Each structure stands twice: as structure tokens, then as C-alpha cells.
Structure 1
């Protein structure tokens, strides 16, 4: 049975994602619930990061913190979770190491690995394995009481495979490049398996209460244009093509879909030909040019300030927001304001408040 939720008081981002004309640009930012907030550390306490993700009450509390701190300035919440819950559901161990980030003690090293074969044969039930995410979404949606919509998300197949093979973040991506060039077919088999899980995972998030979803391809920029077309784009397309069908099968309304392929500036036109409603942009894009290409294809864009501007003071933030507003049509249609990636550590929350306030000022006139 689907949970009942309060009517929406602010559906600005949903209308913008669908390409409708709006009274101002909606705004949210990636990693808006996180370690730059003192209240985050208080709520997290001494708990392990993934323990927090697996505890719906705490994940819900963290999700709501920026909505409450920046009340009236933020137009969406994004559920507090992590892209690596899918590899965990597939049977891999993932740890979050302090000051180092995610770590896989036993990464996939070749298609001959017993672990690779086991993963490919495993029948993963995301409804069971990731139940804690859905509980957090439903709880958060109820607590929001219609204040703003709730975003669900997953990692893109290429980015998830990078982590599963590299064992964590990387500067040279030796292991994943070995895979795609030495074992291309096995790579594609794994990418397809992940893609199918992403569709089911996102569909269950929507059933739980997510009102739009984002696919994070954080390592897309590590691929050449031709490799992107072979190892990332087909699987991004699989999600965009099959999630609406899956939702209809489950008796659910289709929700707007956002794709964010960080670093893949060369792929903008290809991404604009997909079935995603919103194309996320990092700060490598010129706002006016990207907006022109996206609007010609009927797409909304999302982005794209350099997160580093939040270290630069109010005048620098204002200048960047004004440039974005000019380039993105003054926020009246086809733009969701965001950063070009997630908030970086040590940002002063008041700098982010100024960023949000300037977006409203520049797009409300």
C-alpha cells in the first residue's frame, strides 16, 4: 500500500523539471545535507557513515537539516544516502574511511574472479536489501509535510563499476581502464546488471515517496568521448528508457529524471537526446551555450556554479550567480539552480545562504 502524503506547498522544481514556465529558478545543491553543517556532526555522533545511511530516523533527520536551516531558500530535499549502497546490495563490502572516503577491501580484479562470477549469478532483491532507504524516504516525505519535493538517486552504472573495480577513488583509474580495454564484454555484462538494479532501486524509491530522481555519473569525465558512448551512455539510456516503463508496471506515476555526468562536457548533445528531463551541468560548461543546446532539445538544465566560489566571499558568489542567471534565461524556464558538483568541506553555511538568496534575487524580478 502506497503511503499518503501531504499536498505540495512548493512544487517549483517539479514544474521546472518538466519544462514549464516558472516564477523564479528553483534551487538546491548536491551534498546539501552533510559535513559542512555543525548540526550534521551532532546528529551523526560517533556512528559509522553507512550505519547512518542504514538508520532511517537519522538519515531522515540529516535530509531535513538544510531545509530547516535555509527555510524558504531551498526548493528540494535529497535523501541522505550514498551511491555505493548498490554494490553493498550486490554482496560487496564497502567501508567509509575517515579522511579517505569509500574503500572496498576486496575489489573486482578480473572476470575470472570468483567474486565477479558470484555477483553476476546473484539474484539481488533491492526491495529487501535496500529497504532502509525506502523507509528513510517515506519518513522524510511525511516529515516534509509538502514543504518541498524529495529527490531520490542512484549512482550511474559506469561510476559504480569504477568503485567496484578500483576499490575506491583513483587518480589514474588503472584497474577500470584495464577492464574496459582488456575485458570489454565482461565489463558490459556487469554494467548491464548494475543498470537493471538501478531501475528497480529507483522505482522503489518513487513508490516510497521520491518525487524526482537523479543519476550520478561522477566519474564520467574519465572516459574519452568514444568510450563514454560505449561504456556509459548506453547504460544511462537503459535507466531513462526503462524506469518510466517499470513505474507504469507498478501502477506509479512517472517522475522527472535528472542525469549528471560530471566532466563529460563533450557529451552534452548526446545527453540532450536521451529521455532524461533534466541535464545536470558541472562548472566546465558555459551557461549560455549549454542552455541554448538543451532548450533546442526541450531539456531543462541544472547547475552549474563552481563549488569553490563558496570560499570566495559574497561579491564573488553574487557575480557567479548573476552570470548563471543571464546564461540560463533568468530562471523563468528550463533552469534548476545548483552547484556544478557537491558542496566541498569547510564551506561556511552562511556563504551557502547568500548563494541561495542571490538566486532568488536574480530570478524573481
Structure 2
């Protein structure tokens, strides 16, 4: 593999000294970019875009052509795993994802396979290989998956979520059944992420989008425990260096101290938690990633710079911070505004890394 020309992101994840705070954006390859919309139109459908490695590579690289970001993230979707488990994923216009065969019974769970990524998810792995070759060492590539709890919510609800009625009914009335489902999904996620690492992902991130919808005791039992199971099953060395693991629970600020004990290397933090508080909670055991409110990018360039300065100040001096949005960039942001953010991070953060 080609040596990395910029490993600032990986070093920050491991809390090693860096010259500046690295930055990337969740959902950085997406609909706010006109070039992405053009490629999406050429693909004809979102799933065709995901399942064509050359197109997935193209859109992965698009934000790096615009902005001097410090990492690329694989273009894919978290629901590729349940799709590979035979649930029949499709996207209805204006309605989001749906599954033809949702998981509701013990028999449904028993039928679920743990997919072989090199077979059922080969298109994702081929995209990882293609992107690594195209990056040619420019920046590291992040692989990812949804968390077991988050994937299970879609699998049980059958698609886009409203009030978590079915999955929470299972949680309260049939917890043993839900644990069987989560264990199988956790095994599938572990195998999937290890396959991404084997193909060249240099860091991996687990997106727990819906963990924040749980009460604390339920979060620990049904979300956090299964993320820890995944973390413990990952291959953490590749190409002679450590492969860092990032956990992100949206609206999960109250659980950061517990999340830090899973064995992960970094935690994503959304904008509802102050980074100074987060850093105290985790006691510098792990790096922190975040946490600008994505809506700041609707503001003027002057205000964007001021908010970047505030986030950097909140984390304070020293390594272990990766600048990011507190969640994904929104589709109607002016593409010029992320450029202001990235430039401000790279310029203003140097004062925190003497």
C-alpha cells in the first residue's frame, strides 16, 4: 500500500501529538454538492450508486477535491448489512428506506444469516479497495457500519422510524428475543468491519444513530453492550499500524464515560454536549470527535469562524480532538460554507498544538 502523506487524523485519534486539529465532516459526500447530485442522477438510483464501486469512489473523493479535508469516508449506507441479511432493502421516493421482509418473530430471527462480506457485500469491499487506490496515500479512509441497535430498529420497524413502537415493544415484552437479534447483528457488523479493514479501511466508525432514544438502563443493555462486543471482535492492526475505532451515539452525551470504557479509541460528540464537559467525563482516555452544530453552516462566514473558534476553545490545548460536525451536513448548505469551516479549523487550531 502507498504510504500516507497526511496521517494527522489517525495520530489525533490515538491522542498522539499533531500540528493542527484534523477535520472531516459526517456525510461529507452528499446532496449539498452539485457534483454529487450529478453523479447520483447518472447512477439512476441511490442503491445503484452504492452498489457500483467506481461511482462510490467518485463521490467519496468529490469533497476532497473541494476541501483540504484530513480523511475520506467510504460512501455507502448503514442498511447494506440488513439488506445482505435478506430483508429486501428499497427506497421509496420521499419516504426513505423500507424492508420487504421486516424482522418480527423468533422464526424471522432464526432465518437471518450472518452474511459473508466477500459475497453478499462484495460491492462495498470493492469500493474500499478502489477508493484506497484512488486516494494514493493522500489521506486515510474511514470505513463504517451502523450499530447493532440502530440496525435492529430499522429491521424490526421495517424502514423509516416514527416512534420506535415495534422495537421498544420487543425490548419490553420480549427482551430475550431482541437479544438474539442484536447478537446476530453484532456478529454481522463485526465480520463486515473486519472485511473493510482487510480491504484497506484505516479507521472504522460505528454509527449509533438511535441509541439516544433509549432510557439509560436500556441503552447500556441493548446498545452499548453490543457496540462493545463489536469493538472487542475487531482486528485492530493493519499495514503495520493501529486501526482506530470511533463510536458515536447521537444524543449520547450522558453516556460518554461509559462509552470510553468499551475499548474504542475515540467518541463522536454531538452539539448538545460541550466538549470541555465531554473531555472531563472521559478523562482523556479516548479522543473526541465533534461537535459543531451542522446548522452553523447556514450562517455567515464570520459566524462560522467564530463558532469554530468556540468549539476549539471548548476542547482546549493538546491532542485528541478531531473536528467534525455534531451530525451529518444538511443537503441545502451552501458548498462555500464548509470551505470556511475547514480553513478556520486548520488556521485557528495551531495555537492549541504548540
Q: Which TM-score band applies after superposition, normalised by the shorter structure?
A: over 0.9
Partner of 1:301: 288
Alignment partners' CA distance in 2, 1:157 and 1:106: 18
CA distance in 2, matches of 1:340, 1:364: 21
2:49 pairs with one of 30, 52, 68: 52
* Contact residue 114 and residue 187 of structure 2 kept, 8 A: no
2 CA distance for matches of 1:242 and 1:115? 25
1:11 aligns with 2:4: no
Say yes or no: does 1:43 pair with 2:36.
no
Conservation of the 8 A alpha-carbon contact between 1:110 and 1:179: no
Q: Would you say the 8 A contact 1:54–1:133 is kept in 2?
A: yes
Number of matched pairs: 350
The aligned residue for residue 313 of structure 2 is 326
State the match for 2:65 in structure 1: 68
Instruction: Please point out which of 336, 348, 355 is paired with 2:334.
Output: 348
Deviation per residue, 1:327-349 (Å, 9 max, x gap): 1124x401000000001120111
Structure 1 residue corresponding to 2:104, chosen from 109, 126, 138: 109
Mapped to 2, the partners of 1:362 and 1:110 lie a distance apart of 54
The 2-side partners of 1:44 and 1:69 are apart by 18
Cα deviations by residue, 1:43-97 (Å, 9 ceiling, x for unpaired)? 1225211111110000000000001111xx2000001001101001111111122
Moved more, 333-342 or 316-325: 316-325
Partner SS, residue 86 of structure 2: coil
Q: Which shows bigger deviation, 308-317 or 83-92?
A: 308-317
Q: Please name the residue that 2:127 is paired with.
A: 136
Partner secondary structure for residue 87 of structure 2: coil
Across the aligned residues of Structure 1 and Structure 2, the Cα RMSD in angstroms comes to 1.6
Q: Summarize the Cα distance change of 1:105–1:316 in structure 2 as closer, same or farther, 3 Å threshold.
A: farther
What's the secondary structure of 1:346's corresponding residue?
coil
The whole-number CA distance in structure 2 between the counterparts of 1:254 and 1:243 is: 11
Aligned partners of 1:38, 1:255: CA distance in 2, in Å? 33
Question: Alignment partner for residue 23 of structure 2, among 17, 22, 27?
Answer: 27
Q: Are residue 357 (structure 1) and residue 340 (structure 2) matched? A: no
Deviation at 1:128, TM superposition (A): 1.0
Residue in 1 that maps onto 2:160: 169
**Of 86, 93, 113, which residue of structure 2 is paired with 1:91?**
86
The C-alpha deviation readout for 1:98-128, integer Å capped at 9, x for no partner, is: 33221123322333xx433311xx3521221
TM-score (norm. length: structure 2): 0.95
Q: Helix, strand or coil for the counterpart of 2:302?
A: helix
Quick check: 1:201 aligned with 2:192? yes
Q: Secondary structure at the match of 2:259?
A: helix
Q: Partner residue of 2:253?
A: 265
Q: Is this contact kept in 2: 1:273–1:297, CA < 8 A?
A: no
1:160, CA displacement in angstroms? 0.1
1:289 paired to 2:277: yes
Question: How far, CA to CA, are the matches of 2:297 and 2:189 in structure 1?
Answer: 32
**CA distance, structure 1, for counterparts of residue 329 and residue 62 of structure 2:** 15
Structure 2 match to 1:214: 205
Q: CA–CA distance in 2 between the matches of 1:251 and 1:23?
A: 24
